[in-house]
Amino acid sequence: MDRRVIPSPMDTVFEFDYAVQAEDMRSLYEKAKRDQWNASRDIAWDTPEPSDGRTLADELVDIYGSPIWNKLSEKERVELNQRITAWRLSVLVYGEQGAMLACSQLVDTVSGTDQKFFQATQVMDEARHNEVLERYIATRLNGLHYPMPENERVLFDSILSDSRWYIKTIALQLVAETFAVSMFKMMAECAHDPLLQEVCRRILQDESRHMGFGMLALPEVIREASPAEHREMEDFTCVAIEKVLTGFFPVDAYRDMGFSAAQIREVQAYRRDVAARNDYAVFRKYFKRDMHAAMVSNLARIGLLTERVRPRLAALGIELPSAA
Ligand SMILES: [Fe+2]
Ligand SMILES: [Fe+2]
């Protein structure tokens, strides 16, 4: 699949007032211009590869420490480590491309010069993220890619085909980027390959700015929404969170390792069991806590942590502070 075409009827808003209207947004734009980095110049691509061939910490492989893992040879463990990295990075590359496309739509549809200027910088940021991750895959993983997971495809189809800017921003800058910030933080700390750590640290520098756009732009539209619009925003938020948090399993990576259908079922059962016991390695536990806490506090800040939303988050295993 070389490309995917998504129809999207949208209004393009041409602004004629270029004066600063939203100072916080304009200063986010200033920061974005100041902090641009360049993957061709600023990343040490000649960093030597880890001598043991691993790219991620083994603990990020789902079956690490399981009976199936213990039966693998050292060579197989290295191969699985690399395949899982390729799978995770493929998912992120699709996300970066999707973010670039969504932000290019936001440049069109959003009102306000400050908002348009900032979105123009995010288009560039996401292009660089797409580029740098792709370059890492080419450099370290022989260009190995895995297909786009169904949940990610459905999420981006809905972001890119909805004409309303705030629906795109809820799914992208609020939900997906809150997730991405915690994910890149974890990978910046736990990647086994120092080159991957560096790539993740660089991406992370930009992601919190992107989340900032949602935090600045959304409160007003949420405050002014009619009850029906408010409910729609809540529902869309919950669906986006469900899509981001569930349904991701690197089945193709295990298949390529030669795992049988029965072995793959064993892997899935082991994953479910670990999740039920929350028996993850320390940094995965930290990632989950960090991401859940950030999601809850961001939703609260913009006015979407409502009584309709709370039980749906709880059903996803997200811990909530009491409503009082
Ligand atoms: Fe990004
Ligand atoms: Fe981003």
Instruction: Give the pLDDT of residue 247.
Output: 73
Q: Which two tokens stand for residue 172?
A: 């992208």
Distance of CA 197 to the CA centre of its chain: 16
Element (H, E) at 23: helix 23-34
Query: Quick one: pLDDT at residue 218?
Result: 97
DSSP state of 12: P
Distance (Å) from CA 262 to ligand 2 centroid: 38
From the CA of 208, which ligand is nearest?
Answer: 2
Gap between the Cα atoms of 252 and 264, Å rounded: 10
Helix, strand, coil in percent for the chain, rounding step 5: 70, 0, 30
How many residues appear in the chain? 324
| Spatial contact of 224 and 154, defined as CB atoms under 8 Å apart | no
Low-confidence ranges of the chain (pLDDT < 70): 1, 323-324
Residues 127/131/137/138 CA torsion (nearest 10 deg)? 150
Could you tell me the pTM of the whole model? 0.95
Whole-angstrom distance, CA of residue 153 vs CA of residue 192: 29
pLDDT of residue 1: 62
- Torsion-angle region of residue 300: left (phi > 0), alpha (psi -120 to 50) or beta? alpha
Instruction: Find the ligand nearest to 213 CA.
Output: 2
CA 267 to centroid of ligand 1, rounded, Å:
30
Distance 5 CA to ligand 1 centre (A): 21
| Å from CA of 89 to ligand 1 middle | 12
Q: Please tell me the distance between residue 201's alpha carbon and the centre of ligand 2 in angstroms.
A: 13
- Between the CA of 254 and the centroid of ligand 1 the distance, in Å, is 27
Task: Tell me the CA–centroid distance for residue 207 and ligand 1, in Å.
Answer: 6
Q: Ligand 1 mean position to 263 CA, how many Å?
A: 34
Q: Residue type at 110?
A: V
Which pLDDT belongs to residue 320? 86
Distance 169 CA to ligand 1 centre (A): 14
- Give distance in angstroms: CA of 313 to centre of ligand 1: 24
Rounded to the nearest angstrom, the distance between the alpha carbon of 75 and the centre of ligand 1 is 33
- What is the distance between the terminal CA atoms of the chain, rounded to a whole angstrom? 50
Gap from CA of 278 to ligand 1 centroid (Å): 28
Quick one: which of 211, 225, 91, 85 has its CA closest to 164? 225
- Distance (angstroms) between ligand 1 centre and the Cα of 179 equals 11
Under DSSP, the state recorded for 59 is: G
CA angle 104, 106, 107 (to 5 degrees): 65
**Measured between alpha carbons, how far is 98 from 294 in angstroms, rounded to an integer?**
22
Which one of the ligands is nearest to 131 CA?
1
Q: Is-contact 312 302, C-beta < 8 A?
A: no
256 CA distance to ligand 1 centroid (A)? 28
